[in-house]
Every structure is written in C-alpha cells, then in structure tokens.
Structure 1
Amino acid sequence: MQADFNRRWDAATTENIADLAGLDWFTTQVRQLYGFAVPGTDYDRPVGTNVPWPAPVLAAASGDVRLPEARATAALSG
C-alpha cells in the first residue's frame, strides 16, 4: 500500500489529481451520505412536506434539551 501511495504521490499533478485521488468516488459517497444520487430512490415520488417546525423538542432555560415524555420513555426502554 505504501508503494502505491508513493507512486501516486510522485505522479500527481494539478491536471491528474482528481483521477489519482478518486474524486468521482469520493463525491458520490458524500452525495449519497446526504441523500442525493442514492440508487433505488425515486426522487420524483411525492413526499410529505407538512411537518411541524420547530421540531417538538423542549429546551430548558439552562440549555438542556429534553425530549417529550413519550419519546424519552421509548428511547430509554429500547
């Protein structure tokens, strides 16, 4: 692995760095991480957009964030 790294490092130029670094693979991974270009996803399918905002989370004056009781119980028991 080190020899392959050294070979790529020595061969790198501003013209070929994207190919040597696997930029296309990296870009695809980041896009999929954030929900874009995910294989099998129908982006034309309608989705629900009527969601509560802000989310139903309670913030105490101290800055602590507490979940509503039903959620907290489920989170602790699961």
Structure 2
Amino acid sequence: MVESAKTISLPGLEDGRKADEPCTIVIFGASGDLTARKLIPALYHLHLEGQMPESFRVVGFARREKTDASWRDEMRAG
C-alpha cells in the first residue's frame, strides 16, 4: 500500500513569505558540477525572488582545495 505524500507547513511561511531568520546552507561537494550547474543558480534565483532571508550564508566543503575567491569566481562563471 502506498501512502500519499504529506504537505508540511513551515511556521511563518504559510502565506508564501520568505523566512525572516538568518540561515546557513551547507553544500557537500561544493566544487562539483551539480553545485555549479544547479545549486548555486537555484539559490541565486531564490534570492532574486526575495525568497531567501536577508542574512544567509553558503558554506561549501569539497575534496579539491580552493580559496574562497577562486570558488566564487568559478561559481560566477557558471
């Protein structure tokens, strides 16, 4: 028997407003292709649409060693 998916309500977001509390997004595999092609663009568009909190951070972990500046440059280049 298959159960239907449940809808989860997040407090404060029922009416489509953005979250007000600061948050940190942790990405494992931050130097990978999926991060550059999917995750970072999705976060960027959420930010443009006003769906991200005013204060949020993205923290990335990867096997390849990179400086903050080089990682940011790669993500901007897409």
**TM-score higher than 0.5 here?**
no
Give the structure, 1 or 2, with the largest relative contact order (CA under 8 Å, sep 6 or more). 2
Of Structure 1 and Structure 2, the greater strand share is in 2
Q: Which has the larger radius of gyration?
A: 1
TM-score by length of 2: 0.21
More helix by share: 1
Q: Taking structure 1 as the reference length, what is the TM-score of the superposition? A: 0.21
